[in-house]
Amino acid sequence: MPVRPYQGVLPIVGRNVYVDAAAVVIGRVTLGDDVSLWPLAVARGDVNDISIGARTNIQDLAVLHVTHDGPYSPGGLPLVIGEEVTVGHRCLLHACRIGHRCLIGMGAIVMDGAVIEDQVLLAAGSLVSPGKRLQGGHLYRGSPAQAVRRLTADEIGMLRYSAAHYVRLKDRYLTGA
């Protein structure tokens, strides 16, 4: 079963959500309307909360997790992903915050306490170090991720397009069309 409880807490699933049969959503996870999780994506909300905003897509092999409350992380850290975000294949998002209308490129890693503001394009394979803040409206790349330049109007439009494309695609999966 792709959506399952942990210690009696069942994920909260919005309207028109697609969770592939080969994906896993566990525990303290909230999925907004029109969210999609693709094959082998994992959202494990066992020791803290995961929140995924409306029209966000989590692509194949992505891993979403959190930090527990403990002596080295008082209160722990949740994972918060905004609306209209595209999380590319094989990304790792751990106890961080992702703003609205971002694209997290394939294989990127975003670590504990990092904040990615709205409208950021994070290049494939990039590493966002713990606690780092990426300013909205920019392209970042590298390991560690560094600002390259401001996004163009076309690139900002592509961020919205990517999210809308995945909403249409998941709708075809849901209807079998």
Domain containing residue 11: 3-175
In this prediction, the residues of the chain whose per-residue pLDDT falls under 50 are none
Q: Is 104 buried (19+), middle (13-18) or exposed (0-12) by CB count in 10 A? A: buried
Q: What is the pLDDT of residue 50?
A: 98
User: Can you tell me the distance from the alpha carbon of 149 to that of 48, in angstroms, rounded to the nearest whole number?
Assistant: 34
Q: What is the pLDDT of residue 56?
A: 98
* Residue 93: CATH number of its domain: 2.160.10.10
User: Which tokens go with 22?
Assistant: 């080969």
**What are 91-111's pLDDT values in tens digits?**
999 999 999 999 999 999 999
Q: What is the pLDDT of residue 45?
A: 98
Q: Is 169 left (phi over 0), alpha (psi -120 to 50) or beta?
A: alpha
Q: What is the pLDDT of residue 148?
A: 98
Give helix then strand counts, H and E, for the chain.
1, 20
DSSP 126: -
Structural domain total, the chain: 1
Q: What is the pLDDT of residue 177?
A: 75
Minimal CA–CA distance to 6: which of 47, 51, 66, 63?
47
Q: What is the pLDDT of residue 136?
A: 98
Q: What is the pLDDT of residue 27?
A: 98
